[in-house]
Amino acid sequence: MDEGKRPKILEWLLDGDEHELSARIQSRLDDFSEIPTDDPGAMSFLKKMAEDGDADAQCLLGLAFENGIGTKASDRDAFGWYRMAADRGDEFGRKGVERLSFPLYQEYDDQDYIVIAAGYGNIGYILDTGVRLEDEGTKKSIEKAIEIYRIGTATGSA
C-alpha cells in the first residue's frame, strides 16, 4: 500500500476517532500492504481475507457495510461479516452482531437476528432484548423473550 494512500475503510478507521479495532489493524498494516487503494479492489481484497478466516478483515467488512464506507450501506451484510468474526470468538464482531440484531429484527420482523445475538451469551444483551420484547407486549414477543432468557440460562449467562 502506498504510504499515505489507503482505501476509505482503512483511512476512516485509522485516521478517524479512536476505534476499538484501530489498534489491531494498525499492528497488522504489513498484512494489508497489498490492499488496493480503490474501494472495489479493497473490498474484494478484504472479502478474500475474510473468507479465508481473517477476523480483522471480517470486522473491517462489517464496519464498511454498517457505515457505508467504500460500499453501499447494508446492516444485513454487516451483520453477516460481524457474525463470522464472532463465531471465531472475536469480541468486536460479537458487539457488532449485538448492536445490529435488534434494529434488523425490527426492520425485517425476523427474530432470528436476536436469537443469534443472544446465543453469544452476553447477559446484558439477553436481558435488554428480553425486556424490549416484553415491552412490545404481543404473545409472540413475550414467548420469544422467554426463549432468549432460556438461551441465557443455557449458556450460563443468566
Predicted TM-score (pTM) of the model is 0.82
For the cut 90, the answer to whether the pLDDT of residue 42 exceeds it is yes
Q: Domain for residue 47, yes or no?
A: yes
Structure confidence by residue, pLDDT tens digits, 43-71: 999 999 999 999 999 999 999 999 999 99
Task: Select from 67, 95, 123 the last residue of a domain.
Answer: 95
- Report CA-CA distances (Å) from 125 to 56, 82, 93, 130, 137: 23, 16, 14, 8, 19
Distance of alpha carbon 49 from alpha carbon 113, whole angstroms? 25
**Better-predicted residue by pLDDT, 3 or 116:** 116
Cell numbers placing 83: 457474525
Helix, strand, or coil here: 4?
coil
Cell numbers at 43, concatenated: 473490498
Is residue 9 located within the same domain as residue 80? yes
Distance between start and end Cα atoms, the chain: 46
Same domain, 72 and 146: no
Of 63, 95, 127, the position where a domain reaches its end is 95
> Residue 31: what residue type?
D
**Is 101 a residue whose pLDDT tops 70?**
yes
141 falls within a domain: yes
**Which structural domain range is residue 52 located in?**
1-95
- Domain shared by 9 and 81, yes or no: yes
Distance in angstroms (rounded) separating the CA atoms of residues 57 and 50: 5
Identify whether residues 8 and 78 lie together within a single domain: yes
* DSSP structural state of residue 21: T
Instruction: Tell me the torsion sign for CA atoms 117, 118, 122, 125.
Output: positive
- C-alpha angle 32-9-15 in degrees, rounded to nearest 5: 90
Residue 104 lies in a domain: no
Query: Does residue 132 fall inside a structural domain?
Result: yes
- Does one domain contain both 87 and 117? no
Number of domains present in the structure of the chain: 2
* Residue 112: pLDDT over 60: yes
Give me the pLDDT at residue 124, please. 74
Give percent of the chain with pLDDT exceeding 70: 92
Query: Is residue 32 located within the same domain as residue 5?
Result: yes
101 lies in a domain?
A: no
Report if residue 29 sits inside a domain: yes
